[in-house]
Amino acid sequence: MPRYTTKGRAKRIKLDYLQRSHPFRRWKIILTIAVPAVAVAWIVAATVRGDPRLYTSGPVSQGHAMFGLECRLCHRPEGAQGRLTPVVNEPPAQRGPTFRLRVSDEACLTCHDAPAHNASQTFTPACATCHVEHKGPVQLASMSDRKCTQCHAGLKTKPGTSATFAQAIGSFHSGHPEFAISVKDGARARRLRLDRASELKDAAQINFNHEFHLEPGLRGVDELSAGPEARGVTKTSAGGRLNCAYCHQPDDSQAYMAPVRFARHCVACHALDFDPRLPSAVVPHDTPRNVRAFLRDFFATTVEECRKSGAPPDDAATELRRRCQTLGLVKADDEAAWIATQLATVFKQNCSFCHSVSVSPGRLPGMAATAIPTRWFPHSRFDHRPHRVLGCVECHQAARSRETTDVLLPSIKTCRDCHRQGADAARSSCVECHHYHDKALERDQNGPFAIRDLRQRRLDPRRQDP
Rounded Cα distance, 460 and 84, in Å: 5
Rounded Cα distance, 288 and 294, in Å: 10
Q: How far is the CB of 463 from another protein (least distance, A)?
A: 25
Alpha-carbon separation of residue 37 from 32, 41, 47, 54, 249 (angstroms): 9, 6, 15, 17, 68
With a CB cutoff of 8 Å and minimum separation 6, the contacts of 85 are 76, 106, 460
Q: Comparing C-alpha atoms, which of 205, 223, 214, 203 is closest to residue 351?
A: 205
CB-based contact 104:84 (threshold 8 Å): no
Q: How far is the CB of 14 from another protein (least distance, A)?
A: 7
User: Beta partners for 192?
Assistant: 181
Closer Cβ to another protein, 55 or 449, answer by number: 55
Q: How far is the CB of 194 from another protein (least distance, A)?
A: 32
Closer Cβ to another protein, 13 or 423, answer by number: 13
Closer Cβ to another protein, 39 or 189, answer by number: 39
Closer Cβ to another protein, 24 or 123, answer by number: 24
Q: How far is the CB of 456 from another protein (least distance, A)?
A: 23
User: Beta partners for 102?
Assistant: 76
Rounded Cα distance, 98 and 415, in Å: 51
Rounded Cα distance, 346 and 297, in Å: 14
Q: How far is the CB of 127 from another protein (least distance, A)?
A: 14
CB-based contact 134:56 (threshold 8 Å): yes
Closer Cβ to another protein, 39 or 271, answer by number: 39
Closer Cβ to another protein, 75 or 117, answer by number: 75
Q: How far is the CB of 76 from another protein (least distance, A)?
A: 11
Q: How far is the CB of 187 from another protein (least distance, A)?
A: 44
Buried b (16+ CB within 10 A) or exposed e, 140-166: beebebebbbebbbebebeeeeeeeee
Q: How far is the CB of 52 from another protein (least distance, A)?
A: 9
CB-based contact 176:412 (threshold 8 Å): yes
What type of residue sits at position 380? S
Q: How far is the CB of 49 from another protein (least distance, A)?
A: 13
Long-range CB contact pairs, 326-329, < 8 A, 24+: 326/277, 327/277, 327/278, 327/302, 329/302, 329/303
Closer Cβ to another protein, 116 or 132, answer by number: 132
Rounded Cα distance, 299 and 332, in Å: 13
Closer Cβ to another protein, 2 or 91, answer by number: 2
Alpha-carbon separation of residue 44 from 47, 51, 69, 71, 124 (angstroms): 5, 10, 17, 18, 40
Q: How far is the CB of 143 from another protein (least distance, A)?
A: 6
Closer Cβ to another protein, 99 or 123, answer by number: 99
Closer Cβ to another protein, 128 or 258, answer by number: 128
CB-based contact 183:196 (threshold 8 Å): no
Residues that bind another protein in the complex, under the rule CB under 8 A: 2-3, 9, 12-14, 17-18, 20, 22, 24-25, 27-28, 31-32, 34-36, 38-40, 43, 53-59, 71, 75, 99-102, 132, 134-135, 138, 143-144, 146-147
